[in-house]
């Protein structure tokens, strides 16, 4: 008989018609295979003349009984039971060779074989070849490579005699048929597991990858992976820091913490790094070790921990991206669950790659979110600082302007040099007033605690008012300001005071930066659900470089002609903030020396 290698150790149901202590487990044999094997077992009992036939499938180092025919009491006791293969192999060394079947007379059985499984309650008949209740007739079934894959065990010949030569030939035919059925069943089972595992893993990673936070990503993927790999449970250990500065942690399915001892956490981190470099998945059980980098004492510590939580074996899978190992995930199976297959390990390693990429993306998103929060806090602080400083500046500026007026009223004659100085102070004070007003407005429209209270606003009166307010400045520069708007109201949704400031800033800028004798056009119309306000000038234009920073706070153009005009560098920033606050957008088209067009789009009313 070829030497038997049972493969990876896992605990599966044993055949109670064989030696060992019987315990039950849920079988993974599909209904179709169970039905086929049951029909074969019935054929043995009905056509060959035996009272009981049991068929088992090899699971790791044990047999699982999957079909029993003939006796209901035998079926109740044997179906789903399990037994150790190695005990059978010892007994087969003492068997008579009947072809595929092996016969072991009761007087050759070992001591452990006298109490195994189901024993019929019958008395042998008085004949030279009488069947004894403890006689054993089994057919070990091997695949083409000589590996033991199944077993047929029969008992209770109907004539009370050991099988004749003709019965043996018929039994061998049934044994061959059973062997083919078992091999087909196992091949289908492997293919089914490959498909189910791959599908579940693919779906788990696909669904989880859409999550943007690390904790949600792990919570979402774990249940699907547990189902896909037919595991009892799972936990994920991550290394390093996430975007919020939290150290790596252990996450278990169901949201419960896994109390992994610190020593095992350290071992797992080292083992995961080695497994990722070697691109392998480790199976850990009493017969399988993590890797050569793990000592015997550390292995025993791992096994003691697993046994303490009722786990018979684990699949230890590294998680990584590129050259970096980011963690590991562990899939667990119980003491009596089926073995991990090569399909499981291959898919698990692919999942480790997919999870690695998903974790990298999640951490990048969390880092981005943390930066956004820091920038928002900084922006809020800046707004508060601007508002505070602006309010503090108003008092001394008011005092300066008041004292200037007092000096002009009380002094009858002012020296020309003194007058020049007072005029300079007055100009500076007025400029400071404009800066303070702009800063206060900027702080107001940028404050999230100061929400917009929208209402319908007709922009045509606002545009007409602004034209009148800028008429004096336009006349001084011989500029023509033309308004093109429909006679009916053009109504946007927003704050009238803030929208007035938008129109005022745009038209004032156009007047300021347009050479003498030219035209400025202000157009107003509705396009679908938007109100479009355009300010078109024939001014000095804006370079492409300056356009990229046009709405930055305190930005002044690099164009010498623009710098020659006084300004705070806040006018367009205020326009941009107000438009964004209203749910609109602003567009700029400009060319040096050819003028500029500022186009504001706002939500329309009704």
Q: What is the pLDDT at residue 17? A: 29
Nearest in space to 197 (alpha carbons), one of 226, 170, 229: 229
Residue range 111-124, pLDDT digits in tens? 655 445 677 777 88
CB 339 within 8 A of CB 277: no
Kindly calculate the radius of gyration of the chain based on its CA atoms and give it in whole angstroms: 44
pLDDT in tens, 103-159: 989 888 776 554 456 777 778 888 888 998 888 888 888 888 788 888 888 888 889
Q: Are 592 and 540 in contact (CB under 8 A)?
A: yes
- The reported pLDDT for the residue numbered 499 is 94
114, two tokens: 């006298």
Query: Residue 598, exposed/middle/buried by CB under 10 A (0-12, 13-18, 19+)?
Result: buried
Residue 4 phi, psi (nearest 5)? -100, 130
Residue 13's pLDDT is: 27
Residue 201: the pLDDT is: 65
- State the Cα–Cα distance between residues 106 and 404, nearest whole angstrom: 126
pLDDT at residue 289, as a whole number: 67
Return the pLDDT at 2: 30
pLDDT at residue number 245: 40
**Tokens standing for residue 273:** 């790094």
- Mapped onto helix, strand or coil, the DSSP state of residue 104 is strand
* Positions in the chain short of pLDDT 50: 1-27, 114-115, 242-247, 255-256
Closest CA to 80 of 93, 68, 98: 68
Place of tokens 């003349």: 49
**pTM exceeding 0.75:** no
Residue showing tokens 């990229």 = 548
Can you tell me whether residue 36 is helix, strand or coil? helix
pLDDT at 89: 87
């Amino acid at each position: 008989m070829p030497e038997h290698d049972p493969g990876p150790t896992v605990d599966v149901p044993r055949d109670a018609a064989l030696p060992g202590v019987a315990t039950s487990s849920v079988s993974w044999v599909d209904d179709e295979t169970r039905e086929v094997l049951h029909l074969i077992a019935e054929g043995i009992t009905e056509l060959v003349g035996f009272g009981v036939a049991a068929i088992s499938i090899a699971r790791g180092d044990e047999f699982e009984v999957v079909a029993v025919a003939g006796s209901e009491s035998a079926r109740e006791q044997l179906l789903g039971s399990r037994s150790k293969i190695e005990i059978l192999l010892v007994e087969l060394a003492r068997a008579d060779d009947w072809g595929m079947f092996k016969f072991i007379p009761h007087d050759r059985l070992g001591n452990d074989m006298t109490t195994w499984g189901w024993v019929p309650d019958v008395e042998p008949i008085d004949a030279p070849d009488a069947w004894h209740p403890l006689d054993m007739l089994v057919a070990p079934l091997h695949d083409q490579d000589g590996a033991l894959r199944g077993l047929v065990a029969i008992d209770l010949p109907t004539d009370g005699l050991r099988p004749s030569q003709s019965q043996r030939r018929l039994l061998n035919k049934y044994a061959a048929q059973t062997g083919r059925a078992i091999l087909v069943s196992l091949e289908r089972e492997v293919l089914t597991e490959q498909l189910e595992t791959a599908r579940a893993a693919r779906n788990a990673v696909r669904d989880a990858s859409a999550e943007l936070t690390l904790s949600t990503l792990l919570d979402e993927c774990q249940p699907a992976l547990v189902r896909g790999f037919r595991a009892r449970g799972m936990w994920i250990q991550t290394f390093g820091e996430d975007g919020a500065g939290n150290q790596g942690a252990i996450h278990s399915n169901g949201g419960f913490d896994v109390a992994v001892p610190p020593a095992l956490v350290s071992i797992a981190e080292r083992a995961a790094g080695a497994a990722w470099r070697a691109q392998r998945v480790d199976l850990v059980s009493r017969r399988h070790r993590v890797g050569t980098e793990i000592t015997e004492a550390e292995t025993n510590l791992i096994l003691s921990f697993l046994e303490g939580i009722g786990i018979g074996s684990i699949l230890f899978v590294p998680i990584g991206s590129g050259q970096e190992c980011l963690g590991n995930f562990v899939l667990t199976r119980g003491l009596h669950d089926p073995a991990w297959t090569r399909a499981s390990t291959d898919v698990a390693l692919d999942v480790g790659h997919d999870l690695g990429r998903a974790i990298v993306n999640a951490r990048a998103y969390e880092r981005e979110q943390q930066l956004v929060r820091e920038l928002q806090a900084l922006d809020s602080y800046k707004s508060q600082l601007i508002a505070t400083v602006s309010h503090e500046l108003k008092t001394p500026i008011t005092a300066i302007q008041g004292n200037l007026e007092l000096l002009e009223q009380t002094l009858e004659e002012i020296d020309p040099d003194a007058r020049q100085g007072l005029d300079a102070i007055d100009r500076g004070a007025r400029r400071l007033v404009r800066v303070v007003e702009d800063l206060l407005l900027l702080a107001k429209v940028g404050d999230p605690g100061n929400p917009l209270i929208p209402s319908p606003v007709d922009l045509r009166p606002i545009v007409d008012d602004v034209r009148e307010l800028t008429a004096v400045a336009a006349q001084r520069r011989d500029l023509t300001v033309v308004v093109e708007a429909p006679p009916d109201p053009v109504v946007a949704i927003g704050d009238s005071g803030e929208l007035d400031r938008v129109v005022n800033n745009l038209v004032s800028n156009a007047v300021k930066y347009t050479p003498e004798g030219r035209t400025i056009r202000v157009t107003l119309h509705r396009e679908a659900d938007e109100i479009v306000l355009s300010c078109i000038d024939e001014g000095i234009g804006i370079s492409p470089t300056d356009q990229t920073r046009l709405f930055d706070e305190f930005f002044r153009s690099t164009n010498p002609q623009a710098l020659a005009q006084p300004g705070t560098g806040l006018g367009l920033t205020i326009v941009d903030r107000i438009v964004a606050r209203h749910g609109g957008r602003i567009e700029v088209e400009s060319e040096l020396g050819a003028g500029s067009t500022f186009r504001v789009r706002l939500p329309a009313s009704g």
